[in-house]
Structure 1
Amino acid sequence: MAIVDISKLAPEERHDHAAAIGKPIIDARHVAVTFKVENGEVDAVKDVSFQLYRGETIAVVGESGSGKSVTARAVMGLLTKRASVSKASSIAYDGQNVLKFSDRQRRALRGNRISMIFQEPMSSLNPVYTIGAQIIEAIRVHQKMSRQQATDRTLELLRQVQIPDPESRFNQYPHQLSGGQRQRVMIAMALANNPDVLIADEPTTALDVTVQAQILNLIRDLQKTLGMAVILITHDLTVVRQFSDYVYVMQSGEVKEHNTTAELFRSPQHPYTRHLLASEPSGKANPMPAGSATILEGRDVRVSFMLKAGGFFKPRLKELVAVDSLNLKLHRHETLGLVGESGSGKTTFGQALIRLQAVEGGEIFFDGQSIETRSREQMRPLRSRMQVVFQDPFSSLNPRMSVGQIIEEGLIVNGLGSTRSERLDRVREALASAGLPTNILARFPHEFSGGQRQRIAIARAVALEPEFILLDEPTSALDLSVQAQIIDLLRKLQDEKGLSYLFISHDLKVVRALCHRVVVMQHGRIVEEGPVEDVLSHPKTAYTERLVRAAFEVAA
């Protein structure tokens, strides 16, 4: 096998530049960005070069902290005051170096010729203005239009991005829309002035697989219609393969390799690229012991909420049935996946089964004991035996407590460990079980990466030596390679400690790699259930088939 010189895998110009028609619309050369920090400087981006041609999509991939978003913000001129761009850097838009533009020239370019969609639309949209007002503002800043003309253009844009009933949505606020609808509004705003370049920074990370597919297909359709060039920043390689023409792979602020999408996936050269491609969730759950007893059971479990509808003076109450008389059985040493789109009731059902959510009907049994009528005090003796790991570890870990205090707190509350020394031994053992060093007890949550924080959350759960853990979307916000590490960790802990998991997720790739059985939910009901391979390979309902296609083909 020929030895590859990895230093030559990312030349300044693209490998396919000889075949390109015309000049690049964006030609970035030797981009370097440094941030001033408390104890010196951090080189966030080091000598990055890339080219983007009209009408095509390039993907920039890499793990968190690789410099993808900083590179995009350098193009947009959206870096903080603590950032400085190297004098050797050049970012040419249509032949002009935008780094030499005045602030006024950059503002005229931004949102007009070059637009950006951000990862989290809720933090990008202003909560005190209506959707219509925000899009009108984006139009009138760059175009001389009357308010009526801008309103007509806004409604046209909302129809273009397939927002249902745009006339009604026009006067709604961001919190009144779903995540997918908010992301469509962001796209409408980005397209308001028919830009030449659209930068999409992780536009689908927090969305369900079916909504993700709709958003990506929408961007592709609009690109074809409007002739835009797109820079797609993502860590989802299925998305990259399906939607991009050319790929740049970044690590630690540098481009390690770039090539056409087909060639990069066919023959990755750099070890890091191969590592990323190998990090897609794989494998399957280890076999369960024969004749495992039932640890958790729900019979006809029902949960509903009363919602206010109508106006201020004539309010009326409307019942929303979130969990509609459902049955579920989880065996010891089993991982049961609970999947469905946002709003399907899966998290409400999971929380109801461990009495974190009040139930209004049905029976729940934990290890043979009926628990649906138990008070909070009566549930306390069982709490150490059933634990939860939430989706966002940063909001579930107390930022004012050290790692040692966070994990020890559960031991103190549940009366485990007679002395502090004994409790600290259990804390260190839990950290080691979660694949973390034991010398981090005095450090705080903000000092760790997302994957490390999720390991701390798992260590906190494991320290109490539970028999059952509810895992609510524990890998959805993590990079692929970190996701693979967490899956391996959960498998290892299950084997070592005989744990049972109820795994709530919308990521069917992770479900396939981790679960023994899967339950598919829609509108508070179970539409399909069975062994994970049977359900995902041969779905019996159109809804499950749509979820599977969206997850594995991104073409719903």
Structure 2
Amino acid sequence: MAPVDLNLLAPEQRHDHAAAIGSPIIDARHVAVKFKVEGGMVDAVKDVSFQLYRGETIAVVGESGSGKSVTARTVMGLLTKRATVSERSSIDYDGRNVLKFSDRQRRALRGNRISMIFQEPMSSLNPVYTIGAQIIEAIRVHQKLSRKQATERTLELLRQVQIPDPEARLNQYPHQLSGGQRQRIMIAMALANNPDVLIADEPTTALDVTVQAQILNLIRDLQKTLGMAVILITHDLTVVRQFSDYVYVMQNGEVKEHNTTAALFENPQHPYTRHLLNSEPRGNANPMPADSAAILEGRSVRVSFMLKAGGFFKPQLKELVAVDSLSLKLHRHETLGLVGESGSGKTTFGQALVKLLRAEGGEILFDGEPIQDKTRDEMRPLRSRMQIVFQDPFSSLNPRMSVGQIIEEGLVVNRLGATRNERLERVRDALNSAGLPSNILSRFPHEFSGGQRQRIAIARAIALEPEFILLDEPTSALDLSVQAQIIELLRKLQDEKGLSYLFISHDLKVVRALCHRVVVMQHGKIVEEGPVEDVLSHPKTAYTERLVRAAFEVAA
């Protein structure tokens, strides 16, 4: 077979332009953006061209730092003052180059004809204004409507995005809504003025699989109803395959390959595209010894919280049972998955089992020894044997401490290593085991990527040579290829060091690749458990079936 000329995989025009009806609503050519940083300029986007036609969805995929979001922000005119757009760049909207627009023309276009949904709704919604006030403002900035008319339109939008009890939501604040509801509010704001183009920047990254499926299906239904064109920015290839018509693959600020979705998935040409497609979590957990003893056991564990309801003068206390008398057994050398939607009690159960939260009922045994009544001081000798890796390494690593100090701190606290040199040796060994070079000891967390920070968090845990690690959503914020590396690393460490993992996640693809058994939770109860392949291939409850369908088909 003749070698493929990689330069021909991403021409200026789309491969299907001859079959397209009409001209593109957005035609971007030679988009290049530089950012001024300390010590010079960084090329964030280099010579990117793409076309979007009315009523279709194009997907822009790639890892963090590939330039996807910067490209979208260039279209919207939302770049910082440090950014410089190349003179050669052009972005035509309906035949007019928006890069030549005045600030006033740009504002009239933004949020009116072209709208954007951002990745993190909590940082995009103003916490001091009610939901109603924020949507009404988005409408009245662009339309000459009275407050009453704008309120009616707001209620109509909330119904359109399927927010329950929209009248009550008008006077609520963002923190009073769930993640999925906040994302629906962002969609309602984006649709307020019936835009021609909707840019969705990682709209479902932080959401559960079932909520993700609902949000994506909602965008698709609204697109059909309103005839919008959609630019979907994501690193989730299952989503791309299901929802897009045409795909652009970006790496290091450049488009490496583009094609229709069907053609790109059936026959990827560029090595990077093939790498991305092969990065989906694959494989299964390595077999565990048949006669493994239990290392961690929970028997009828119960955790509840008292919530305040009612007014200031007549407060009412209401009990929320987060973990409802649950039992669980984890064996040595085993990975047990704990899955369920947000609010199902997974993390609370996990933290109760390692005594980070107080369980008010039941028994917890670690290596056969009851620990539920142990005090903080009595738990200290056991702490080096049980470790935790949290979801967000950026908030769990101290930004003022160097990598060396972060990893050594646990050794000092637990009095491991007789001398400083001995401790540093263990720190270097832990970094090497986590796939990191040992010459990064003096660097700080902000100098690393998300995947590298998660490896530092894993190195910190394994430096103490534990027997058990609680992994709380350790891959949810990571790109697919980085996810695959972390899964491989966890498998390798389990084999080398005989570790046992309790793996909390809502990503069933990762659970299938890493876990031996799985426990499914809903509303503080266990609804199903068993070997991972049995539960995910033949779910016995409707809830598990819905989770599986949402994860593997994105069609809940």
The answer to whether the superposition gives a TM-score over 0.5 is yes
Q: Which residue of 1 aligns with 2:114?
A: 114
Q: Which residue of 1 aligns with 2:269?
A: 269
Corresponding position: 1:69 with 2:54: no
SS of residue matched to 2:440:
coil
Q: What is the alpha-carbon distance in structure 2 between the residues aligned to residue 107 and residue 379 of structure 1?
A: 59
SS of residue matched to 1:400:
coil
Q: Which residue of 1 aligns with 2:320?
A: 320
Match runs of 1:472-551 below 5 Å:
472-551=472-551
SS of residue matched to 1:341:
coil
Q: Which residue of 1 aligns with 2:79?
A: 79
Match runs of 1:165-314 below 5 Å:
165-314=165-314
Q: What is the alpha-carbon distance in structure 2 between the residues aligned to residue 453 and residue 64 of structure 1?
A: 14
Q: Describe the superposition over 1:178-229 as per-residue Cα deviations: whole angstroms up to 9, x where unpaired.
A: 0000000000000000000000000000000000000000000000000000
Q: Which residue of 1 aligns with 2:50?
A: 50
Letter in 2 for 1:236: D
Letter in 2 for 1:333: H
Q: What is the alpha-carbon distance in structure 1 between the residues aligned to residue 525 and residue 290 of structure 2?
A: 29
Letter in 1 for 2:200: A
Q: What is the alpha-carbon distance in structure 1 between the residues aligned to residue 194 and residue 490 of structure 2?
A: 47
Q: What is the alpha-carbon distance in structure 1 between the residues aligned to residue 134 and residue 72 of structure 2?
A: 23
Q: What is the alpha-carbon distance in structure 2 between the residues aligned to residue 265 and residue 12 of structure 1?
A: 21
Letter in 2 for 1:544: T
Match runs of 1:27-38 below 5 Å:
27-38=27-38
Letter in 2 for 1:319: E
Corresponding position: 1:383 with 2:383: yes
The alpha carbon displacement at 1:552 in A equals 0.1
SS of residue matched to 2:203:
coil
The alpha carbon displacement at 1:443 in A equals 0.2
Letter in 2 for 1:514: L
Q: What is the alpha-carbon distance in structure 2 between the residues aligned to residue 442 and residue 127 of structure 1?
A: 38
Structure 1 moving runs of 4+ over 6 Å: none
Q: What is the alpha-carbon distance in structure 1 between the residues aligned to residue 140 and residue 371 of structure 2?
A: 59
What 5-or-longer segments of structure 1 have no aligned partner? none
Letter in 1 for 2:371: I
What 5-or-longer segments of structure 2 have no aligned partner? none
Letter in 2 for 1:388: I
Q: Describe the superposition over 1:312-344 as per-residue Cα deviations: whole angstroms up to 9, x where unpaired.
A: 222101100000000000000000000000000
SS of residue matched to 1:439:
helix
Letter in 2 for 1:473: E
Q: What is the alpha-carbon distance in structure 2 between the residues aligned to residue 124 and residue 260 of structure 1?
A: 32
Q: What is the alpha-carbon distance in structure 2 between the residues aligned to residue 171 and residue 103 of structure 1?
A: 33
Q: What is the alpha-carbon distance in structure 1 between the residues aligned to residue 528 and residue 108 of structure 2?
A: 52
SS of residue matched to 1:307:
strand
Q: Describe the superposition over 1:150-178 as per-residue Cα deviations: whole angstroms up to 9, x where unpaired.
A: 00000000000000000011110000000
Corresponding position: 1:370 with 2:370: yes
Q: Which residue of 2 aligns with 1:22?
A: 22
Q: Which residue of 2 aligns with 1:465?
A: 465
Q: Describe the superposition over 1:7-61 as per-residue Cα deviations: whole angstroms up to 9, x where unpaired.
A: 1100000000000000000000000000000000000000000000000000000
Q: What is the alpha-carbon distance in structure 2 between the residues aligned to residue 79 and residue 536 of structure 1?
A: 44
Q: What is the alpha-carbon distance in structure 2 between the residues aligned to residue 467 and residue 154 of structure 1?
A: 54
How many residue pairs end up in the alignment?
556
Q: What is the alpha-carbon distance in structure 2 between the residues aligned to residue 241 and residue 225 of structure 1?
A: 21
The alpha carbon displacement at 1:255 in A equals 0.0
The alpha carbon displacement at 1:517 in A equals 0.1
Letter in 1 for 2:423: R
Q: Describe the superposition over 1:100-153 as per-residue Cα deviations: whole angstroms up to 9, x where unpaired.
A: 000010000000000000000000000000000000000000000000000000
Q: Describe the superposition over 1:413-450 as per-residue Cα deviations: whole angstroms up to 9, x where unpaired.
A: 00000100000000000000000000000000000000
Letter in 2 for 1:281: P
Letter in 1 for 2:166: P
**Which shows bigger deviation, 308-317 or 149-158?**
308-317
Letter in 2 for 1:146: S
TM-score between the two structures when normalised by the length of structure 2:
1.00
SS of residue matched to 1:129:
coil
SS of residue matched to 2:425:
helix
The alpha carbon displacement at 1:2 in A equals 2.2
